[in-house]
Amino acid sequence: MDCARALAAGARVHEHRFVRLPDLREASDIPGAAFPGLPPTYIPLRNAIFYSFGASYAEEIGASAIAGGHNSDDAGVFEDVGPRFFSHLQKALRSGSAGLRKSSLQILRPLKRMNKVSVVRLASSLGVPLELTWSCHRDGRTHCWRCPGCASRSHAFSEAGVEDPLSPASRKIT
């Protein structure tokens, strides 16, 4: 959350809200649940929940778009990141709100055709403070460097030829 605050401040976000969702559970925390082919960190229909919050805020302020940072690698793993899902979700959100119909709400996904390596290259070229990004699937103050999120991050930075400011190998010992 500290990093999210810092990123929002750096991007001069007008209003930054946190929504607490303590009852959401990852697949590994749901007794007897089976989600074949999905990682243990999968949260059922997580993106439907997040985009619904985004749409609620969009209706509140009269915005005509909400945006997400999903990339093509995500779409290969999660059904709620693909074009079919977003096409139907956009229609559903508009159908439930006169304000969103009036604004012709669009769900934007500018990174949808880029893989993680391309996203890292783009972020680096734009000067994104990559030290404030988070990829680990575990809680903590630092990345574990063992989970699938950390492995994917390491691979993406390495392939992009960009030094990861969070990598233990890039930290200077003083």
How confident is the model over 10-58, as pLDDT tens digits? Answer: 999 989 999 988 889 988 889 988 888 888 888 999 999 999 999 999 9
Q: What is the CA radius of gyration of the chain?
A: 18
Give the pLDDT band (50/70/90) at residue 141.
confident
Give the pLDDT band (50/70/90) at residue 171.
low
At 174 the pLDDT is 45
Q: Please tell me whether residues 23 and 84 are part of one structural domain.
A: yes
The residue with greater pLDDT, 37 or 112, is 112
Rounded CA gap, 50 and 21, in Å? 10
Q: Is residue 68 part of a domain?
A: yes
Considering the chain, what is the average pLDDT of its residues?
Answer: 91
Secondary structure percentages of the chain, helix, strand, coil, to 5: 50, 5, 50
**What pTM does this model have?**
0.86
At 137 the pLDDT is 84
Rounded CA gap, 73 and 113, in Å? 9
The parent domain of residue 119 ranges over: 115-174
- The CATH number for 93's domain is 3.40.50.620
Q: Is the pLDDT assigned to residue 170 strictly greater than 80?
A: no
Q: Please tell me whether residues 108 and 69 are part of one structural domain.
A: yes
Quickly tell me which residue has 């990682």 as its tokens.
Answer: 39
Q: Is residue 57 part of a domain?
A: yes
Q: Is the pLDDT assigned to residue 169 strictly greater than 90?
A: no
Task: State CA 11 to chain mean position distance.
Answer: 17
Rounded CA gap, 41 and 67, in Å? 23
Give the pLDDT mean for 129-147: 89
